Amino acid sequence: MSEAASAPLGVLGAGVMGTGIAALAIGHGIPVVLVDVSEDRLADARRRVDAQLRHARLMGSVPARDAAGLTTAVELAAVAGATAVIEAVTEDAEIKAKVLEEASSLFAVGTPIISNTSGIPIGELGRFVSRPDELLGIHFMNPAYLITMVEVIRSARTSDETMAAVTGLLARMGRRGIVVRDAPGFVTSRLLHPMINEAARIVGAGVATAESVDDLMRGCLGHPTGPLRTADLIGLDNLVDALSTLWERTGEESFRPCELLREKVAAGHLGRKSGKGFYDYEKVLS
Protein backbone atom coordinates (compact mmCIF):
# COMPACT_ATOMS: atom_id res chain seq x y z
CA MET A 1 0.00 0.00 0.00
CA SER A 2 1.39 3.33 -1.02
CA GLU A 3 -0.36 5.16 1.86
CA ALA A 4 1.74 3.25 4.36
CA ALA A 5 4.74 5.14 3.09
CA SER A 6 3.18 8.59 3.39
CA ALA A 7 3.97 10.62 6.50
CA PRO A 8 1.24 10.54 9.14
CA LEU A 9 -0.91 13.33 10.42
CA GLY A 10 -0.55 13.92 14.16
CA VAL A 11 -3.76 14.45 16.13
CA LEU A 12 -3.49 15.60 19.75
CA GLY A 13 -6.48 14.85 21.98
CA ALA A 14 -8.66 11.81 21.31
CA GLY A 15 -12.02 13.18 22.37
CA VAL A 16 -15.11 13.91 20.30
CA MET A 17 -13.18 15.94 17.72
CA GLY A 18 -9.81 14.16 17.74
CA THR A 19 -11.45 10.80 16.98
CA GLY A 20 -13.70 12.33 14.32
CA ILE A 21 -10.75 14.01 12.61
CA ALA A 22 -8.75 10.77 12.82
CA ALA A 23 -11.62 8.86 11.14
CA LEU A 24 -11.79 11.53 8.43
CA ALA A 25 -8.04 11.32 7.72
CA ILE A 26 -7.61 7.55 7.71
CA GLY A 27 -10.78 7.23 5.63
CA HIS A 28 -9.04 9.40 3.04
CA GLY A 29 -5.88 7.30 3.14
CA ILE A 30 -3.81 9.52 5.45
CA PRO A 31 -2.28 7.60 8.36
CA VAL A 32 -2.79 9.11 11.81
CA VAL A 33 -0.89 9.15 15.09
CA LEU A 34 -3.44 9.96 17.80
CA VAL A 35 -2.25 11.14 21.23
CA ASP A 36 -4.08 11.43 24.53
CA VAL A 37 -3.19 11.35 28.20
CA SER A 38 -4.03 7.75 29.11
CA GLU A 39 -4.16 4.26 27.63
CA ASP A 40 -7.77 3.98 28.79
CA ARG A 41 -8.82 6.97 26.78
CA LEU A 42 -6.90 5.67 23.79
CA ALA A 43 -8.50 2.22 23.94
CA ASP A 44 -11.89 3.90 23.93
CA ALA A 45 -10.74 6.24 21.17
CA ARG A 46 -9.71 3.36 18.90
CA ARG A 47 -13.20 1.91 19.19
CA ARG A 48 -14.76 5.27 18.46
CA VAL A 49 -12.56 5.91 15.44
CA ASP A 50 -13.64 2.51 14.04
CA ALA A 51 -17.30 3.26 14.67
CA GLN A 52 -17.00 6.71 13.11
CA LEU A 53 -15.23 5.33 10.07
CA ARG A 54 -18.13 2.90 9.61
CA HIS A 55 -20.52 5.80 9.97
CA ALA A 56 -18.57 7.74 7.34
CA ARG A 57 -18.73 4.75 4.98
CA LEU A 58 -22.44 4.31 5.61
CA MET A 59 -23.03 7.92 4.61
CA GLY A 60 -20.70 7.64 1.61
CA SER A 61 -18.56 10.47 2.98
CA VAL A 62 -15.17 8.78 2.62
CA PRO A 63 -13.88 7.12 -0.54
CA ALA A 64 -14.46 3.38 -0.88
CA ARG A 65 -10.88 2.29 -0.26
CA ASP A 66 -8.89 0.71 2.53
CA ALA A 67 -8.40 2.99 5.49
CA ALA A 68 -4.88 4.10 6.33
CA GLY A 69 -3.35 3.05 9.64
CA LEU A 70 -4.16 4.46 13.05
CA THR A 71 -1.47 4.52 15.74
CA THR A 72 -2.15 5.72 19.27
CA ALA A 73 0.30 6.96 21.88
CA VAL A 74 0.44 8.64 25.27
CA GLU A 75 3.68 10.47 24.49
CA LEU A 76 3.57 13.61 22.41
CA ALA A 77 6.94 12.63 20.97
CA ALA A 78 5.13 10.00 18.87
CA VAL A 79 4.00 12.73 16.46
CA ALA A 80 7.53 13.91 15.60
CA GLY A 81 7.95 13.34 11.87
CA ALA A 82 4.27 14.04 11.13
CA THR A 83 3.43 16.01 8.01
CA ALA A 84 1.22 18.31 10.11
CA VAL A 85 -0.33 18.20 13.54
CA ILE A 86 -3.86 19.03 14.60
CA GLU A 87 -4.39 20.01 18.22
CA ALA A 88 -7.84 18.99 19.53
CA VAL A 89 -7.29 18.91 23.30
CA THR A 90 -9.70 20.32 25.89
CA GLU A 91 -10.85 23.91 25.28
CA ASP A 92 -8.71 25.44 28.00
CA ALA A 93 -6.07 28.01 27.09
CA GLU A 94 -3.59 26.71 29.67
CA ILE A 95 -3.83 23.10 28.51
CA LYS A 96 -3.54 24.16 24.89
CA ALA A 97 -0.55 26.40 25.65
CA LYS A 98 1.29 23.52 27.28
CA VAL A 99 0.53 21.03 24.52
CA LEU A 100 1.37 23.47 21.73
CA GLU A 101 4.62 24.50 23.35
CA GLU A 102 5.76 20.92 23.70
CA ALA A 103 4.58 19.92 20.23
CA SER A 104 6.25 22.84 18.53
CA SER A 105 9.62 21.89 20.01
CA LEU A 106 9.37 18.48 18.30
CA PHE A 107 8.81 19.49 14.70
CA ALA A 108 11.03 20.25 11.79
CA VAL A 109 10.68 23.68 10.22
CA GLY A 110 7.80 23.64 7.75
CA THR A 111 5.41 21.45 9.73
CA PRO A 112 2.06 23.23 10.09
CA ILE A 113 0.56 23.24 13.57
CA ILE A 114 -3.20 23.44 13.43
CA SER A 115 -5.48 24.23 16.35
CA ASN A 116 -9.06 23.04 16.33
CA THR A 117 -10.03 25.49 19.07
CA SER A 118 -13.64 26.65 19.01
CA GLY A 119 -12.73 30.22 19.69
CA ILE A 120 -9.43 30.99 21.42
CA PRO A 121 -7.66 33.49 19.14
CA ILE A 122 -4.87 31.87 17.14
CA GLY A 123 -2.67 34.90 17.74
CA GLU A 124 -2.92 34.26 21.48
CA LEU A 125 -1.96 30.59 21.05
CA GLY A 126 0.91 31.69 18.80
CA ARG A 127 2.74 32.98 21.86
CA PHE A 128 3.39 29.40 22.91
CA VAL A 129 4.87 27.95 19.72
CA SER A 130 8.39 28.49 18.48
CA ARG A 131 7.26 29.43 14.93
CA PRO A 132 3.92 31.31 15.03
CA ASP A 133 4.04 31.65 11.24
CA GLU A 134 3.42 27.89 11.07
CA LEU A 135 0.34 28.01 13.32
CA LEU A 136 -3.24 28.45 12.16
CA GLY A 137 -6.74 27.43 13.14
CA ILE A 138 -8.88 24.90 11.37
CA HIS A 139 -12.24 24.73 13.01
CA PHE A 140 -13.56 21.33 11.95
CA MET A 141 -17.26 20.92 12.55
CA ASN A 142 -18.74 17.94 14.33
CA PRO A 143 -18.86 15.23 13.03
CA ALA A 144 -15.67 16.11 11.17
CA TYR A 145 -16.10 13.22 8.73
CA LEU A 146 -19.61 14.28 7.66
CA ILE A 147 -19.42 18.06 7.40
CA THR A 148 -17.30 18.98 4.41
CA MET A 149 -16.81 22.65 5.16
CA VAL A 150 -14.30 23.95 7.70
CA GLU A 151 -13.53 27.40 9.03
CA VAL A 152 -9.87 28.30 8.50
CA ILE A 153 -8.40 30.95 10.78
CA ARG A 154 -5.36 32.82 9.63
CA SER A 155 -3.63 34.83 12.34
CA ALA A 156 -1.71 38.00 11.61
CA ARG A 157 1.46 35.90 11.65
CA THR A 158 0.43 32.79 9.68
CA SER A 159 2.63 32.55 6.56
CA ASP A 160 1.61 31.98 2.95
CA GLU A 161 3.63 28.74 2.95
CA THR A 162 1.64 27.44 5.89
CA MET A 163 -1.63 28.40 4.22
CA ALA A 164 -0.56 26.59 1.04
CA ALA A 165 0.48 23.43 2.90
CA VAL A 166 -2.79 23.31 4.79
CA THR A 167 -4.88 23.94 1.71
CA GLY A 168 -3.26 20.85 0.20
CA LEU A 169 -4.00 18.80 3.30
CA LEU A 170 -7.66 19.86 3.31
CA ALA A 171 -7.99 18.97 -0.35
CA ARG A 172 -6.62 15.48 0.35
CA MET A 173 -9.36 15.06 2.94
CA GLY A 174 -12.08 16.41 0.66
CA ARG A 175 -12.72 19.46 2.85
CA ARG A 176 -13.48 22.98 1.69
CA GLY A 177 -12.18 25.81 3.84
CA ILE A 178 -13.40 29.36 4.20
CA VAL A 179 -10.58 31.58 5.45
CA VAL A 180 -11.38 34.20 8.08
CA ARG A 181 -9.31 36.51 10.24
CA ASP A 182 -8.57 35.98 13.87
CA ALA A 183 -11.07 37.07 16.54
CA PRO A 184 -12.53 35.36 19.62
CA GLY A 185 -14.99 32.75 18.38
CA PHE A 186 -14.10 33.47 14.73
CA VAL A 187 -17.39 33.41 12.79
CA THR A 188 -19.14 30.13 13.54
CA SER A 189 -18.74 29.95 17.34
CA ARG A 190 -19.40 33.66 17.71
CA LEU A 191 -22.78 33.09 16.10
CA LEU A 192 -23.64 29.56 17.23
CA HIS A 193 -22.54 29.55 20.86
CA PRO A 194 -24.62 32.51 22.07
CA MET A 195 -27.59 31.02 20.23
CA ILE A 196 -27.23 27.72 22.05
CA ASN A 197 -26.70 29.57 25.34
CA GLU A 198 -29.92 31.52 24.78
CA ALA A 199 -31.80 28.36 23.80
CA ALA A 200 -30.72 26.83 27.12
CA ARG A 201 -31.82 29.98 28.94
CA ILE A 202 -35.24 29.70 27.32
CA VAL A 203 -35.55 26.12 28.57
CA GLY A 204 -34.23 27.09 32.01
CA ALA A 205 -36.82 29.85 32.32
CA GLY A 206 -39.61 27.43 31.40
CA VAL A 207 -40.62 29.32 28.27
CA ALA A 208 -40.46 26.14 26.17
CA THR A 209 -39.15 22.59 26.35
CA ALA A 210 -35.95 21.55 24.58
CA GLU A 211 -38.09 19.65 22.04
CA SER A 212 -40.21 22.73 21.32
CA VAL A 213 -37.17 24.97 20.91
CA ASP A 214 -35.56 22.52 18.49
CA ASP A 215 -38.80 21.84 16.61
CA LEU A 216 -39.36 25.57 16.11
CA MET A 217 -35.82 26.17 14.93
CA ARG A 218 -36.09 23.26 12.51
CA GLY A 219 -39.62 23.78 11.28
CA CYS A 220 -39.66 27.56 11.10
CA LEU A 221 -36.05 28.50 10.54
CA GLY A 222 -34.59 25.55 8.68
CA HIS A 223 -31.99 24.59 11.30
CA PRO A 224 -30.97 20.97 10.58
CA THR A 225 -31.33 19.58 14.10
CA GLY A 226 -32.14 22.47 16.44
CA PRO A 227 -29.67 24.21 18.76
CA LEU A 228 -30.11 21.91 21.75
CA ARG A 229 -29.57 18.70 19.81
CA THR A 230 -26.49 20.44 18.43
CA ALA A 231 -25.45 21.26 22.01
CA ASP A 232 -25.75 17.59 22.98
CA LEU A 233 -23.68 16.60 19.97
CA ILE A 234 -20.95 19.13 20.78
CA GLY A 235 -20.77 18.08 24.43
CA LEU A 236 -22.11 20.42 27.14
CA ASP A 237 -18.77 20.47 28.97
CA ASN A 238 -17.00 21.68 25.85
CA LEU A 239 -19.76 24.19 25.26
CA VAL A 240 -19.39 25.68 28.73
CA ASP A 241 -15.60 25.77 28.32
CA ALA A 242 -15.87 27.44 24.92
CA LEU A 243 -18.44 29.97 26.15
CA SER A 244 -16.24 30.77 29.14
CA THR A 245 -13.16 31.38 27.01
CA LEU A 246 -15.23 33.73 24.83
CA TRP A 247 -16.77 35.52 27.78
CA GLU A 248 -13.37 36.00 29.42
CA ARG A 249 -11.95 37.48 26.22
CA THR A 250 -14.83 39.74 25.21
CA GLY A 251 -16.86 40.50 28.33
CA GLU A 252 -20.00 39.92 26.24
CA GLU A 253 -22.87 38.72 28.46
CA SER A 254 -24.25 36.58 25.65
CA PHE A 255 -21.23 34.31 26.11
CA ARG A 256 -21.59 33.86 29.85
CA PRO A 257 -22.54 30.17 30.25
CA CYS A 258 -26.11 30.03 31.55
CA GLU A 259 -27.08 28.26 34.73
CA LEU A 260 -28.86 25.32 33.14
CA LEU A 261 -25.79 24.47 31.07
CA ARG A 262 -23.53 24.65 34.10
CA GLU A 263 -25.95 22.53 36.14
CA LYS A 264 -26.08 19.84 33.52
CA VAL A 265 -22.30 19.68 33.32
CA ALA A 266 -22.03 19.50 37.13
CA ALA A 267 -24.51 16.59 37.08
CA GLY A 268 -22.43 14.77 34.47
CA HIS A 269 -25.07 15.20 31.77
CA LEU A 270 -22.70 16.08 28.96
CA GLY A 271 -24.90 15.25 25.96
CA ARG A 272 -24.53 12.36 23.56
CA LYS A 273 -21.10 11.41 24.84
CA SER A 274 -22.48 10.62 28.30
CA GLY A 275 -25.85 9.33 27.01
CA LYS A 276 -27.84 12.24 28.38
CA GLY A 277 -27.96 16.02 28.05
CA PHE A 278 -31.00 17.96 26.91
CA TYR A 279 -32.18 14.60 25.56
CA ASP A 280 -31.91 11.07 26.85
CA TYR A 281 -30.21 9.07 24.10
CA GLU A 282 -31.47 5.76 25.40
CA LYS A 283 -34.99 6.87 24.74
CA VAL A 284 -35.19 9.37 21.93
CA LEU A 285 -33.96 9.54 18.44
CA SER A 286 -30.54 11.13 18.11
Distance of alpha carbon 194 from alpha carbon 221, whole angstroms: 17
Under rule CB under 8 A, residue 1 binds other proteins = no
Q: Which of 142, 212, 225, 274 binds ligand NAD (CB under 6 A)?
A: 142
Which of 225, 250, 254, 274 touches other proteins by CB under 8 A? Answer: 225
* Window 141 to 180, contacts with other proteins (CB under 8 A): 143, 146
Angle at 188 between CA 32 and CA 141, to 5 degrees: 25
CB atoms within 10 A of CB 157: 17
Identified catalytic residue from 28, 55, 139, 223: 139
Enumerate residues 6+ apart whose C-beta is below 8 A from 136.
Answer: 112, 113, 114, 115, 122, 152, 153, 154, 155, 158, 162, 163, 166
Amino acid in the structure at residue 147: I
CA angle 210, 212, 214 (to 5 degrees): 70
Let me know if 269 is a catalytic residue.
no
Bridge partners of residue 114, in order along the sequence: 86, 136
Of 58 and 109, the one with the shorter C-beta distance to other proteins is: 58
Question: Which one of residues 234, 236, 240, 261 is an interface residue with ligand NAD (CB under 6 A)?
Answer: 234
* Interface pick for other proteins out of 58, 108, 109, 220 (rule CB under 8 A): 58
Longest dimension (CA), the chain: 58
CA 93, distance to chain mean position in Å, is 15
By the rule CB under 6 A, 100 interacts with ligand NAD: no
Known binding residue 219? Answer is: no
Closest CB 150 distance from other proteins, rounded Å: 18
Phi/psi-derived region of residue 79, left when phi > 0, alpha when psi is between -120 and 50, beta in every other case: alpha
Pairing of strands 135-139, 70-73: unpaired
Amino acid type, 97: A
CA angle 224, 278, 186 (to 5 degrees): 55
Stretch that binds ligand NAD, among 2-10, 59-67, 207-215, 235-243 (CB under 6 A): 235-243
17 carries a ligand binding annotation: yes
Binding status of residue 195 toward other proteins by CB under 8 A: no
- The residues binding ligand NAD (CB under 6 A) are 12-18, 35-37, 41, 88-91, 95, 99, 116-118, 139-140, 142, 234-235, 238, 242
Q: Looking at the annotation, which residues are catalytic?
A: 139
- The residues binding other proteins (CB under 8 A) are 51, 54-55, 57-60, 143, 146, 224-225, 233, 272, 283-286
- Which residue numbers belong to the known binding site for NAD(+)? 13-18, 36, 91, 96, 118, 142, 273
